[in-house]
Structure 1
Amino acid sequence: MAGRDLRTLFSTNDRSLEAGEAFTNRQVQWEVVAAALTEHLQRTADAAFDVEDLEAPRNNVLVFHGVGGIGKTTLSRKLEAALAGAERRPTQWGEPTWAGERILPVRIDLSRSAGTDFEQVVLTVRAALSTLGRPLPAFDVALRRYWEHQHPGESLEEYLRRGGLAGRFGKTMPQQLQSAMADVAQALALPGTVGTAVGQLTGSLVRALRERRQTVRALAGCARLADLLEAEPDLEALSFYPHLLGWELAQLPTGRRVTPVILLDTFEDVGDRTHRDLERLIQRVVWLMPNAFFIVTGRSRLQWADSHLQGQLDYTGPAAWPGLAAPATSIPAARRTQPAGGGGGRQVLIGDFSPEDCDDYLARRLSVEGRPLISEEIRHVITARSHGLPLYLDLSVLRYLEIRRTRRPTPADFDHDFGALIARTLSDLTPDERHVLRSISLLDAFDLPLATATAGLPHQAAAQRLVERPFVRENPFGLWPYYLHGLIRSTIRSADDASDDRWSAHDWKHAAERALAALGAQWTTAEPTGRDRLLLVGCLRQGLPLARDFHLDLGWLADAAWAYVSDSVWEPVAPPTRHTGTTGLQSAAEALVELLAALARRQHEHRSVTASRLAKVTDSRLLPASLQEMGVYYLAKAQRDLGDSEASRRGMQAVADGGGRLAPAARRGLAHLARLAGDFPHAYATARTLGWAGRQHRVEGDILWPHGDINRAAAAYSAARDQAEQHGIAGERATSQAQRALVLAFADPFTAADEIHLAEQLLTGLDLRATGFTVRTAAFVRDAGTLHSLAAARALRIDIRESGVAASEAVLELALAFHHAVLGESDKVRAVIGRLQEQTRTGDYAYYIDIAHFMAGFPLAEASTARWLDSAEDVRARWRQLVHTRQAALGHPTADT
């Protein structure tokens, strides 16, 4: 099915270049047509089918709709060729199921450039039927009467020749009309030349029909012929004449029956949602020819099944068009094994090409000696940029030839947007719809209120019409249900726009301000109970790039940022970093984007990377004071994780002294730093003053469990978890539960198993890397004393080192000390102690060395720097007892080493 691509052929002087009209497989669409046409043929062959029944529902239309450039016209042409004969059908499409049936495809281009009017539509159908080789007298008499009134003195034969119909279907139609008139005149025994007596003939025929004369019994079966011949022969009457065509087709002998398949292409040019005059006339043709099958291709779905169009069109509602009332079926171009269509919905959204089909298309469009001219690397870039839109592939091929005139094209040449896509998309939109389209291109997703507010319009009508367009996709499960086709959106945002109503940079900024304000309104006006995490994250993901890219004030984004960090969930919200050619941050919005990106990414990056990014933010001084405090606090946390306690202490103290929102958290940080240094009395005294805001119970648990006081520590973590649940803080709840699981794992593996399972459930959907390490460490401690647990510990150590979280690695080493102490492996405990000494050279967590000695029953090698809440001997006794308990449970010896 490859023809000659003349446009490409005339774009180069290279005669070795083969420019094929590549048609990428649309097998699924063919299967839809085949299934629907088979059903139509079965229905019309039924003895109960009545072509003159004007009240029966119609299911004789199939609609393919999609964005401009998706390949609808190409599909229409290929369907026409495939229906015309097997020799013109792509082999991959397979054999149809209507063998023996005569199918007559008739394709009509309704585009404005073709200049097709309704009169031409009717004449095209009749001209196509002239291939039957016989007159259709009921229709032909009515058409001849119409022609004499509307085109006096104009030759129908010349009109058909000038319009190209004679060339397409032959020159027999005028002769068939003349023959029909002669036959009727003879039946009525009229004298004179028929060609000069059309009025006399039709008048006599009407009287004969009314009187039920035997001489016109062949036409008397058409119940409405007389009424049509009596009506004023104008365009309105012409639109009802297809009823006569349908009746004539039904009278054909069985052996000469034919089913017209009328392909109406570029249906969007028939009219708009306000002016439906031509659409009304064409709809009558479809309704009045129920034995013909119609395939409509256009940009939008047909609305004929919508009851609110009653009065604008003659036949409306789901009862009239059951197939059109069903939701549109989306069928991508990718190959499937099962066809859609048949008795279900008859509105099909043509999907984008799959990446494989895009590559196949590009490889076959241009070739030299049978080899693809466009390299695989360039085809890959074009495919990725195209979002599967065939028009983009077409334009890229022409760009390739243009560049090739002067140099060898490179992949970078095709990181490109085409303004022509904008023209194709905007061509049939109203000014308000174009305005809304440009506005919503700023948004990842939207609903009607958000689109209307972003456009700054007082009513939703334009947005409502726009979402019915095929380049607007729908995800009914999304926070905002609508989103733009990816290529259309990127092109409108970035390509040079030569349209008359193109936007200036000032216009784009105003639209961005409206979009940001509209998102903020959805966030700030929601009831507190309605401010769920999904809405918060969605607003941030859309609002942050708007504020950054257009240098807007932060406004509501500051409060939203605080809400985001308060839950400690850390799903990504910041857009990708832009490469602007500058080295520093340029605005408060850019600094906020970097701040939130660093906080979310810290769950996936080494803490040194996080610290570097946060230092860049705090050093810029671009953020307002409250958000600057956020940067300082989380930088101090990263420094603590890296073991830089002195820098962390300075940052925490600064935030605590500032008295802002994070002051309680900073005081908690100072308590942690005291604990890390082994100053437990000071840490515990500080913890008792923290309250919920400073997460008092969790900090108390962090202090108690190193003392081996498992029950009190577990109770503190339980209280922390319950408090977090009451306040709806998912991250804190999961963290507290993970710590509870860890400490209980030392004392009671069976209880710990349930606690670990709960912690894993609470972590679902959260992005808390360090907490995940805690849960995995708890699982190792639960299995301590068994050989199979060591493999998990080795994998966990690798992951922790990649993260740079020093505290997690120290806890893992302590868990290993417990494991080896239970097994009585003194040398391995000493090896753990050696690693702990290396890790705690700064003094932080040095008391873990003491605890490892306590577990194994070793005397301390040197004086401890830890200040315990009670005596060191009490702490030793508790840890040693935990080891003995585990040894007894596993049947290991319990004697001190």
Structure 2
Amino acid sequence: MADDLRALFSSNDASSFDTDEAFTNRGHQWAIVAAAIEEHLQRLADPAFDVEDLERPRANLVVFHGVGGVGKSTLMRKLEAALTTDDARPPQWGAPAWTRRLLPIRIDLARSASTGADFERVILTIRLALAGELGRALPSFDVALRQYWEHTHPGEPLDEYIRRGGLAGRFSAMLPQQMQSAVSEVAGALELPGLVGSAAGQVTAALVKALRARREHAVALAGASRTAALLEATPDLEALSYYSHLLAWDLSRLPAKKSVVPVVLLDTWEDTADRHRDLERLLQRLVWLLPNALFVISGRNRLQWGDPALHGQLDWTGPFAWPGIDAPTPSLVAHARTTVPGGRQHLIGDLSAEDCDAHLARRLVKDGQPLIGADVRAVITARSHGLPLHLDLAVSRFLEIRRTGRTPVPADFDHTFPGLLARVLSDLTPEERHVLRSVSLLDAFNLDLATQAAGFTHQAPARRLVDRPLVTHNPYALWPHHLHAAIRTAVHDDTHSEDRWAPAEWHQAAARALAALGDQWRSAASLGPSRMLLVACLRQALRLARDYRLTDLGWLTDAAFAYTSDSVWEPLAPPPGPDGNDPGLDTPADALAELLTAIARRQREHRSRTIDRLTAVLDSHLLPAELTQMALYYRAKAYKDLDRTGDARTGMQEVADAGGRFAPQARRGLANLARIGGDFPTALAAVPTLGWKGRHYRVLGDIHWPHGNIDEAITAFEAARAEAEQHDAAGERAMAQVRLALATSFSDPVRADDELALAHQLLDGLDQRANTLLAQIAALIKDAGTDRDIVDRAHALQAEATTAGLPYLTRYLELGLALHHAVRGTTVELAATIGRLHELTGGGDFGFFTDIAHFMADLPLPEPGSRTRWLDGEPAVRERWHTLLAARRAYVHAPS
């Protein structure tokens, strides 16, 4: 309501505009809780409801989760107050529909320490609240609780523990009295007056004995079927968690006039359960075994109880045990009369862009129209990143500007608010502020990154910071922590706080963060390659190096070579700089980012664009020698793809002569260029010099299959795939598999089906456009001779290859069409296909494709003959391809 009052007092004319309810009123969340309470009361009224039914799924909870610092605790306090008295409930929330007596019990889990006393605090808080509300003993539970207390805390009075633990209140003295009353009630019911004043163990033993004998009074007093077994168990913390069942039983046996429905509000759940699964198990047991209580839980993260993978860590998991915990619950949606996302779990805090705009539009209204214009709302929404606090500050700013007599414009809100950062920094120590600014440089981080980026040798400040609500935690992320985007922006834009950083300090912190990322990558790489970590480190590091003009690339050079080594092309381009503009090529970091981006994006751009980008990088002369060789190599590859083999050969030769890390790849490129030019002996002679880095087996396979030596090619490609698997090189494994599928597509269509299926599986997620197209061409070759739309498919693939700037692939397509027409005996179409092949290979490159088309159809080569240098002579190659054609004809015409 504070912002409503601020609006009210911002103008002399209080009627000049209207204010809608502030975001902190949480009317939407109240509707969810009210609907859950109604549903819970209906469930309790069902004659089939039984607190002893431990197999029935549970729906007695509602969860609110969201980024820290957006009012979850405030919401829980408001819910407690609204459920306590009608006067505390905001009028806009509306009157509840239920008439039964509710008992709200709010427990702040953040006050607990990570010990067994956490759960004791929860149980005692619930029982103390019931003590004051009911004013009577709960015999089954109280006897068990007294037995637990005397066993676990011998000689320590319960009332003293309650006072010392901060639980003291006007009901603190009632619980010990009611526990003693419970013992007296049990002794009287058992007609054993001598037990009054006895130790809890003696009373318990007598009660258990009576229950085992099924004595009528004992059954009436404590007749839950599992009571005896619970009282016989060792009274430790585990047993205490199961005593919740006795509490549920006692509550269910209360007379109608005395009955009460507890609504337990567990606040800041993340401070215990998310980090200590043992305590979470105890708390979950409480929820499950107390089905006649409704639990409202708030925390930063969703509950994971619907995940069956947690079975064994928690007692009840999966969607059957907790229906609606992972999906919208129709009953709640219907009662709330709104679309409630998340079913039993509801995200609060961050708002969608649409919700931000709607909130701002209704926040201030004049004559029925939004006072804040759409253009201003758009800027505020974009800057807020969905953080409600930013929206409230923007509304205040709007009112301040309006009070001066000026109409606010979008530029007034295209910034962060010092007030937001002031609230964030107000309760941080100087060390925590230092860590906060350091990690604001990172998209995500862990404790090691935060500590190193801050330049500390101890983790304590980082540990304290990640416990703050301004840091979001995702345990499944590579780096589990990140700052809320609005807070992160506010930290960067800080020009008002007393301890704000100077530009030199930001530069030093960026250098530390860059080094820390490198340390993490190198440490992980020493244990084995991690592609995910490599890419994540590169993305953050390239942005840091660019934004803060860090000239020493250091580990980034090694990381760039690791990135390109596997032919998996995840996007790396950092977003535009802080001013939103492309910074150009001014620093080595700019050049490296553009180099890696050009290499990766060639899978989605025309190869001519790749050449232009790499040429610009080379012309900048910003890269060290090793990275310059990388740029030269990939430009030469692009030249080769565009049939500019002369330029490709020049570039490959320069890289090979330099003898750097890309020399093996360049030698492979030269061998492939020799093969493309039809000089197979030269290509074969280079194979022994290539080794794994030069992909010798793949080169060998590419030499064998044009000779019709399909078996030898298959063996080579299988060896290439196996070697790639040994080196955990997913990209190379996929390339070898595609070529294996290509080879089998000529000789064995049945096997080719299986090989193509594996090829597509291995290509998934690798973004290898050329190899994906080659796999589709292999599928066409496999189907050659059939009526499976070969010609139309070839035309579509040709268009794709042309668009991608991969004209060399059209030769494979024409070779496939030549096989198709030769099998079907369509001589006119075959002649036309060979004519196109002749035109495509007239410059000498891939001229052996035209030769193969003639060999398959047993046609003479045109004069002056082929320039191809075959390994074992033209007649042998002709015979093998003609034999393959005959086999394909037999396969196509074989009866099915």
* Cα distance in 1 for residues equivalent to 2:505 and 2:827: 74
Counterpart of 1:243 (choices 151, 154, 171) is 171
Q: 8 Å contact 2:73–2:298 — kept in the other structure? A: no
Flag the 1:376–1:797 CA change in 2: closer, same or farther, 3 A.
Answer: farther
Partner of 2:871, secondary structure, is: coil
CA displacement 1:570-599 (0-9 Å, x = unmatched): 222342354776774111112111111112
Match of 1:483 in 2: 482
Is residue 796 of structure 1 aligned with residue 797 of structure 2?
yes
Secondary structure of 2:808 counterpart: helix
Map residues 710-789 of structure 1 onto 2, 5 A cutoff: 710-789=710-789
Per-residue displacement from partner, 1:644-665 (whole Å, max 9, x unpaired)? 2121111111101101111111
**Aligned with residue 389 of structure 1, among 373, 387, 390:** 387
* Correspondence for 1:506 among 504, 507, 511: 504
Letter in 1 for 2:750: F
Q: What is residue 554 of structure 2 aligned with on the other side?
A: 555
Aligned to 1:273: none
Q: CA deviation at 1:742?
A: 0.3
Q: Give the C-alpha shift of residue 402 in structure 1.
A: 6.8
Instruction: Tell me the CA shift for residue 526 of structure 1.
Output: 3.6
8 Å contact from structure 2 (residues 571, 601) kept in 1: yes
Aligned to 2:565: 566
Cα distance in 2, alignment partners of residues 387 and 5 from structure 1: 22
**496 and 880 in structure 1: CA distance in 2 versus 1, 3 angstrom threshold:** same
Shift in CA distance, 874/398, structure 1 to aligned 2, threshold 3 Å? farther
Distance in 1, matches of 2:509 and 2:360, equals 37
Deviation (angstroms), 1:668: 1.1
In structure 2, the residue matched to 1:869 is: 871
Question: How many Å apart are 1:633 and its aligned residue?
Answer: 0.7
How far did residue 356 of structure 1 move?
3.8
The alpha carbon displacement at 1:102 in A equals 7.0
1:65/1:72 contact within 8 Å kept: no
1:724-780, Cα deviation, whole Å (9 max, x unpaired): 222332221211111011011011001112222222232234232212122222222
| Aligned-pair CA distance for 1:420 | 2.5
Cα distance in structure 1, aligned partners of 2:630 and 2:65: 53
1:603 paired to 2:603: yes
Which whole-Å CA distance do the structure 2 matches of 1:319 and 1:334 have between them?
Answer: 19
Structure 1 pair 574–699 and aligned structure 2 pair: CA distance change class (3 A): same
Separation in structure 2 between the aligned mates of residue 869 and residue 688 of structure 1, nearest angstrom: 16
Q: Do structure 1's residue 681 and structure 2's residue 687 form an aligned pair? A: no
> Aligned-residue CA RMSD in angstroms?
4.9
Residue 631 of structure 2 is matched in structure 1 by 631
Give the AA of the match of 1:847. Answer: F
Q: TM-score, normalised by structure 2?
A: 0.68
- SS of 1:5's equivalent? helix
Per the TM alignment, residue 9 of structure 1 is displaced from its structure 2 partner at its CA by: 5.4
Q: Which string of whole-angstrom CA distances, capped at 9 and with x for unpartnered residues, describes residues 437-461 of structure 1? A: 2211122222222212222223222
* Structure 2 match to 1:337: 329
**Counterpart amino acid of 1:549?**
D
**Residue in structure 1 matched with residue 4 of structure 2 by the alignment:** 5
CA offsets 1:458-478 (integer angstroms, 9 cap, x no match): 322222222222332222222
* Cα pair distance change 1:615/1:66, threshold 3 Å: closer
Change (3 A) 1:387 1:22: same
Does structure 1 retain, via aligned residues, the 8 Å contact 2:104–2:263?
A: no
Could you tell me which of 522, 527, 530 is aligned with 1:524? 522
* Code of the aligned partner of 1:448: L
Q: Distance in 2 between matches of 1:749 and 1:317?
A: 56
Size of the alignment, in residue pairs?
Answer: 708
Where does 1:51-70 land on structure 2 (aligned, <5 Å)?
66-69=67-70
Residue in structure 1 matched with residue 813 of structure 2 by the alignment: 812
Give percent identity, aligned residues only.
48
The CA deviation string for residues 278-335 of structure 1, in whole angstroms up to 9 with x for no partner, is: xxxxxxxxxxxx9998988988966699999xxxxxx999689967999946369999
Distance in 2 of aligned mates of 1:85 and 1:849: 90
Q: Return the offset for 1:686.
A: 2.5
- Aligned-residue offset at 1:70: 5.0
Residues 354-393 of structure 1, C-alpha deviation per residue, up to 9 Å, x if partnerless?
Answer: 3442232123223444344555566455444433211222
Task: Identify unmatched segments of 5+ residues in structure 1.
Answer: 44-58, 109-128, 130-135, 139-227, 251-289, 309-314, 341-345
Query: 1:881 maps to which residue?
Result: 883
SS at match of 2:6: helix
Distance in 2 (CA, whole Å) between partners of 1:455 and 1:103 is: 48
- Report if the CA contact (8 A) 1:17-1:368 is conserved: yes
Could you give the per-residue CA deviations for residues 842-897 of structure 1, whole angstroms, max 9, x where no partner exists? 4422332333333344444453333333333433333333222212111189xxxx
| Alpha-carbon separation, structure 2, partners of 1:33 and 1:462 | 41
- Distance, in Å, in 1 between the alignment partners of 2:795 and 2:16 is 62
Check the 8 A contact 1:61/1:295 in 2, yes or no.
Answer: no
**Distance in 2 between residues matched to 1:243 and 1:517, nearest whole Å:** 58
Determine the C-alpha separation between the residues in 2 that align with 1:503 and 1:297. Answer: 39
In structure 1, distance between residues paired with 2:863 and 2:433: 78
State how 1:390-409 maps to structure 2 within 5 Å: 390-398=388-396, 409=409
Note closer, same or farther for the CA distance 1:429–1:806 as it changes in structure 2 (3 Å cut).
Answer: same
SS of the equivalent of 1:473 reads: strand
Q: In the TM superposition, what are the counterparts of 1:701-716 in structure 2 within 5 Å?
A: 701-716=701-716
Q: Is the 8 A contact 1:744 1:752 kept in 2?
A: yes
Residue in 2 that maps onto 1:212: none
1:718–1:737 CA contact under 8 A, matched in 2: yes
Whether 1:544 aligns to 2:542 is yes
User: Using a 3 Å threshold, how does the CA distance of structure 1 residues 407 and 602 change in structure 2: closer, same or farther?
Assistant: farther
Answer whether contact 1:471 1:488 (CA < 8 A) is retained: yes
* Aligned-partner Cα distance in 1 for 2:354–2:7: 22
Q: What SS class does the counterpart of residue 525 from structure 1 fall into?
A: helix
Asked if the contact 1:687–1:699 (Cα under 8 Å) also holds between the matched residues in 2, the reply is yes
Gaps of 5+ in 2: 45-59, 109-128, 136-156, 179-258, 288-294, 304-324, 334-343
Question: What is the CA–CA distance in structure 2 between the aligned matches of 1:886 and 1:305, rounded to whole Å?
Answer: 63
1:450-461 → structure 2 map (5 Å cutoff): 450-461=449-460
- TM-score, scaled to structure 1: 0.68
Q: How does 1:167-182 map to 2 (within 5 A)?
A: none
Residue in 2 that maps onto 1:849: 850
SS of equivalent to 1:483: strand
Alignment of 1:42-441 (within 5 A): 66-69=67-70, 73=74, 80=81, 85=86, 98-101=98-101, 240-243=168-171, 328=299, 330=301, 336-337=328-329, 350-374=348-372, 379=377, 382-398=380-396, 409=409, 415-441=414-440
CA drift of 1:32 comes to 4.6
SS of 2:482's equivalent in the other structure is strand
Alignment of 1:21 onto 2:21: yes
Structure 1 range deviating more: 239-248 or 805-814? 239-248
Matches within 5 A, 1:643-722: 643-722=643-722
Residues 318, 580 of structure 1: CA spacing in aligned structure 2 closer, same or farther, 3 A cutoff? closer
CA distance in 1, matches of 2:688, 2:63: 74
Distance change in 2, residues 1:729/1:297 (3 Å) = closer
What do the CA deviations read for 1:519-554 (whole angstroms, capped 9, x no partner)?
222222346333322222222222222222222211
Structure 1 residues 306 and 651, CA, compared in 2 at 3 Å: closer, same or farther?
closer
Quote how far apart the aligned CAs of 1:830 are: 3.6
Deviation readout 1:398-454 (Å, 9 max, x if unpaired): 5556778656845x7755333322122222222222222221112222222221222
- For residues 110-154 of structure 1, the C-alpha deviation after alignment (integer angstroms, 9 at most, x for no partner) is xxxxxxxxxxxxxxxxxxx9xxxxxx9x9xxxxxxxxxxxxxxxx
Letter in 2 for 1:536: L
Give the match's secondary structure for 1:593: helix
Q: Which amino acid aligns with 2:781?
A: V
**Aligned amino acid, residue 816 of structure 2:** A
Matching residue's letter, 1:565: T
1:281 maps to none
SS in 1 for 2:855: helix
The structural deviation recorded for 1:95 is 7.8
Deviates more, 1:24-33 or 1:860-869: 24-33
